[in-house]
Amino acid sequence: MNLEEFVIALPKAELHLHIEGTLEPEMMFELARRNAVPLPWDSVEATRVAYDFSNLQSFLDLYYAGAAVLLHEQDFHDLALAYLERAHADGVVHAELFFDPQTHTLRSVPFSTVLDGLERACVEAQQRWGMSTRLIMSFLRHLSEEDGFATLDEARPHLHRLHGVGLDSSELGHPPSKFERLFAECRRLGLPVVAHAGEEGPPEYIFEALDLLQSQRIDHGVRASEDPALMARLAREQIPLTVCPFSNVRLRVFDTLAEHNLKTLLDAGLNVSINSDDPAYFGGYVAQNYIDTAAALSLSRAEIKRIARNSLQASFVSDAQRRPWL
């Protein structure tokens, strides 16, 4: 079995995936036409050429511009179903999708429109491919705490349809501590918490995500390797890191895949998984992330298996539900 066949055959969960980041330029242009929304680019090709990022912010600027074509329930459905079909082809048996309601409600798209469309696609994925899914509402950290509370208020009638909350967008200058009270309220409402930390931000942000937000997983977390005490804690407490190798290279966290610290994290005993983050922008879906990272870091088949198993163990499904995969 070659590496590609081996990777695709492994049951795996995708735990770090922004549904808005799966908007391929072809669909962006189709929705722009359907919804009469102007785009800053002339063609699909010109759009892909523009995806030459220097850091997280330079990506986010384009990502929010692209998301402007999403207006109707059908748009969110089509976006999510296309991703889920692609993930199924990669051997993903379970996907936990981040969505950013503020990206849409700020453009007057109702919260329920977003959720209805995403949820309908999730139901179809279960029926068609037996995939299980979770929806995680992510707060945009460049916005205020007050905005976050207003979004939580919009979400209140729908809490039973959400499986957790996350924290994303521009990391530097927006530490987890900014959202300590918001996340305390989310936890009080019974929502599990995850947070992006240590992507561009320092190890202190990872400590804050753990101690102030009580984050159950750390999204990215690669800068943990700068702090031995933090590494020891992440290993001891088996706090999952949802690592996204293509993203880290495209956003210049590491210069090349060969320089990525995923193997260092794995060797230190951390629960590391591989994920695609925003695959339409970063050059590949989850299986390609596994394949190219394994090749660049000379990962053994046992290590690749361990990463896939980590992804299933770190997911928000119960042990009973997980049993068929493990």
Catalytic residue numbers, as ranges: 199
Q: Which of 169, 13, 18, 157 lies closest to 80 in space, CA to CA? A: 18
CA distance 144 to 173: 12
Pick 60 or 265: Cβ nearer ligand ADE: 60
Pick 116 or 198: Cβ nearer Zn ion: 198
Six-digit token string for 124: 């179809």
Q: Mask of contacts with ligand ADE, 258-277, x by CB under 6 A?
A: -------------------x
Does residue 75 interact with Zn ion by CB under 5 A? no
Does residue 199 interact with ligand ADE by CB under 6 A? yes
Task: Judge whether 278 is annotated as a binding position.
Answer: yes
Six-digit token string for 309: 């198993």
Residues 2-21 that bind ligand ADE (CB under 6 A): 18, 21
Does residue 277 interact with Zn ion by CB under 5 A? yes
Which one of Zn ion, ligand ADE, none is in contact with 273 (Cβ closer than 5 to 8 A by kind)?
none
CA distance 312 to 274: 11
Task: Judge whether 227 is annotated as a binding position.
Answer: no
Does residue 119 interact with Zn ion by CB under 5 A? no
Task: Judge whether 52 is annotated as a binding position.
Answer: no
Does residue 113 interact with ligand ADE by CB under 6 A? no
Q: Which of 63, 6, 16, 41 lies closest to 241 in space, CA to CA? A: 16
Contacts of 290 (CB under 8 A, 6+ apart): 7, 12, 274, 304, 307, 308
Q: Each residue of 36-66: b (16+ CB within 10 Å) or e? A: eeebebeeeeebeeebebeebeebbebbbeb
By Cβ distance, which residue is nearest to ligand ADE?
168
Which one of ligand ADE, Zn ion, none is in contact with 56 (Cβ closer than 5 to 8 A by kind)?
ligand ADE
Binding site for Zn ion (CB under 5 A): 277
